[in-house]
Amino acid sequence: MKRILFFLFAVLFVSACTKNDESAVYFTDQITPEGFAKVYEKISNELEGKVGVKVHFGEEGNTYYVKPDLYKNIVLDCNGTFIETNVLYKSPRQQTESHIALAKSHGFTYAPIDILDATGEIQIENVEGCQHYNKFYFGKNLDNYNSFLIISHFKGHGSSGFGGAIKNISMGFATPKGKLAMHRNNFPVCERSRCTDCDSCVLECPANAITSNPFSIDVEKCTGCGKCIDVCPNDALRYPKDKQDVQTVFCERLVEYAKAILNRHEKMVYINVLVDISTSCDCSRNPGKPFVPNIGILASTDIVAIEKASHDLVAKIHGCKDPFLEAVKTSGLRQIEYAFEVGMGNKNYRLINLDTDETTIVRTE
Ligand code: SF4
Ligand code: SF4
């Protein structure tokens, strides 16, 4: 009898370990309202009370932001409110009124819009495990919500390699003061021998920080967004010599802001949309061409697992381990590693394909 009980206990123990060792990530290749409904069904149980739906409204002129009609049904299902914060640089998205007007012109008309920092700022202090900050600044209205649906366009980003869920809740929930704190000291330099004075960077810079004749970057105005690097046709603009360190620190800063908000609001679920995977982000008017074909939609309750799975799928299609380092010249892998190190989630995951019912287990250690 004892042996039977021991055997049963061992089976249960192994089974529990196996289940808990990988986080579930759901996938469909249908980038349609039906595809959104499929993945949403798997994570929507976590949503309760007043639901904030974090999206990106798309910069003026950007056409790659995820179109709101694709996820209209799920936002209506959870009675969600679109939430965003004002940006740091010169744009209609810098002021609440023009920000909302731009969102509406991009089709975000079927749910209320709340610009979280329109009424002020909340400060979060002393988040355990963070080495870069002891104070974090977020939009005040965040605390009006009980749970969050984070819908992120997974694409390239000049400073962080890629932008997904981590960037969406860190930069996306921070006030301009918090955004500046993350970008600070992230200024590009120009290799003049490569520069042809084409002025592309001058026109692209959202902070009006670059002047030509003579060429200069005003570090008082520069927010370190990296958009000038993305548009330069001659690779003349780069982060300074210690570029690796600058990028590593920027990725870690994003993660710490994400951790601070997750410590305060645990009820968050994530949908990453792998469509129009361009080299620059939705804040850019000229985000560059997609460098891999469209892949699909992922959903999870684990922010690390969904970022890892999204990155792995892009890597697989692109045929290399670090696709954003190749395509954007910046690796985003530190985001995933550091988020795991500070305890935000699991790098091991089960990719559950809802189209084929196949499950793939991906373990990294
Ligand atoms: S990084 Fe480049 S584009 Fe961005 S604010 Fe600085 S100078 Fe302008
Ligand atoms: S985009 Fe590049 S080549 Fe053109 S002005 Fe700027 S640094 Fe020079």
pLDDT value of position 244: 61
Pocket test for ligand 2, best of 187, 193, 195 (most atoms within 8 A of CB): 195
Q: Which two tokens stand for residue 177?
A: 């003061």
Q: Which of 13-27, 87-101, 197-211, 222-236 has the lowest mean pLDDT?
A: 13-27
Question: How confident is residue 365, by pLDDT bands cut at 50, 70 and 90?
Answer: low
**Is 50 exceeded by the pLDDT of residue 69?**
yes
209 CB less than 6 Å from ligand 2? no
359 CB less than 6 Å from ligand 2? no
Query: From ligand 2's centre to the CA of 243, what distance in Å?
Result: 19
pLDDT value of position 131: 83
Centre a 10 Å sphere on the Cβ of residue 266 and count the other Cβ atoms it contains. 9
**Is 50 exceeded by the pLDDT of residue 2?**
no
Q: Which of 49-58, 234-243, 274-283, 295-304 has the lowest mean pLDDT?
A: 234-243
* Ligand 1 atom 5: residue of nearest CA: 222
Q: Tell me the C-alpha distance between 260 and 66, whole Å.
A: 26
| pLDDT, mean over the chain | 90
- Specify the ligand 2 atom closest to the Cα of 196: 3
Q: Tell me the C-alpha distance between 131 and 129, whole Å.
A: 7
- Specify the ligand 1 atom closest to the Cα of 159: 1
Ligand nearest to the CA of 201: 2
What's the average model confidence in pLDDT over 323-347?
A: 95
199 CB less than 6 Å from ligand 2? yes
31 CB less than 6 Å from ligand 2? no
Q: Tell me the C-alpha distance between 355 and 104, whole Å.
A: 33
DSSP conformation class of 174: B
119 CB less than 6 Å from ligand 2? no
What's the average model confidence in pLDDT over 3-18?
A: 42
Sequence-distant (≥ 6) Cβ neighbours of residue 303 within 8 angstroms:
165, 166, 169, 258, 262, 268, 270, 339, 344, 345
Query: From ligand 1's centre to the CA of 269, what distance in Å?
Result: 32
DSSP character string of 67-131: PGGGGHHHHHHTT-EEEE---SSSSGGGSHHHHHHHHHHTT--SS-EEETTTT-EEEEE--TT-S
- Tell me which of 221 and 116 has the higher pLDDT: 116
Ligand nearest to the CA of 184: 1
198 CB less than 6 Å from ligand 2? yes
- The length of the chain is 365
Which residue stretches of the chain are H helix?
2-21, 33-43, 72-77, 96-105, 165-170, 176-183, 200-204, 227-231, 243-264, 303-318, 323-328, 333-341
**Is 90 exceeded by the pLDDT of residue 293?**
yes
| Residues 93-141: tens digit of each pLDDT | 999 999 999 999 999 999 999 999 999 999 999 898 888 888 899 999 9
Long-range contacts of 4-11 (CB under 8 A, 24+ apart): none
Q: Tell me the C-alpha distance between 41 and 78, whole Å.
A: 11
Q: Which two tokens stand for residue 187?
A: 């200024």
Q: Crossing angle, helix 176-183 and helix 243-264, to 10 degrees?
A: 150
Q: Which two tokens stand for residue 28?
A: 């469909």
pLDDT value of position 186: 73
CATH of 20-177+259-362, one of 1.10.3470, 3.40.50, 2.60.40, 2.40.350: 3.40.50
What's the average model confidence in pLDDT over 230-256?
A: 84
Which of 64, 65, 45, 169 lies closest to 108 in space, CA to CA?
65
pLDDT value of position 7: 41
